[in-house]
Amino acid sequence: MTEPRVITEIDGQIAYVWLNRPDKLNGVDLELIEELIAAAEALKSNRDVRAVVLQGKGRSFCAGLDFGAAFKDKKKVARFFLAGPRLVNKFQKVTTIWRDLPLPVIAVVHGHCYGAGVQLAAGADFRFTTPDATWSILEAKWGLVPDMGGTVPFGDQMKADDVMRLSMTGEQITGTRAVEVGLATEAVDEPIKAALELIEKLVERSPDSVAATKKLLYANRRGSLRAALRLERKLQATMFKSVNTKIAREAATAKQPAAYKPRTFK
**If pLDDT is split at 50, 70 and 90, which confidence band does 82 have?**
confident
Q: Average pLDDT for residues 202-220, to the nearest whole number?
A: 95
- CA dihedral of residues 34, 38, 39, 42 (deg, nearest 10): 180
Pick the more confident residue, 249 or 210: 210
**Is the pLDDT reported for residue 209 higher than 70?**
yes
Q: Is 173 helix (H, G, I), strand (E, B) or coil?
A: strand
According to the model, what pLDDT value does residue 71 have? 77
The residues, ordered by sequence, that sit 6+ positions from 256 with a Cβ below 8 Å of its Cβ are none
pLDDT tens digits, one per residue of 145-189 = 898 989 899 999 999 999 999 999 999 999 999 999 999 999 999
Strand partners, 182: none
**If pLDDT is split at 50, 70 and 90, which confidence band does 206 have?**
very high
DSSP string, 84-145: TTSSS-HHHHHHHHHHHSSS-EEEEE-SEEETHHHHHHHTSSEEEE-TT-EEE-GGGGGT--
Mean pLDDT of the chain: 93
According to the model, what pLDDT value does residue 85 have? 64
According to the model, what pLDDT value does residue 229 have? 73
Run of H or E residues at 10: strand 6-11
Q: Average pLDDT for residues 10-39, to the nearest whole number?
A: 97
Task: Kindly tell me the burial class for residue 186, based on how many C-beta atoms sit within 10 Å of its own C-beta (0-12, 13-18, 19 or more).
Answer: middle
pLDDT tens digits, one per residue of 127-142 = 999 999 999 999 998 8
Is the Cα torsion angle 197, 200, 203, 205 positive or negative in sign? negative
Pick the more confident residue, 226 or 43: 43
**Is the pLDDT reported for residue 115 higher than 80?**
yes
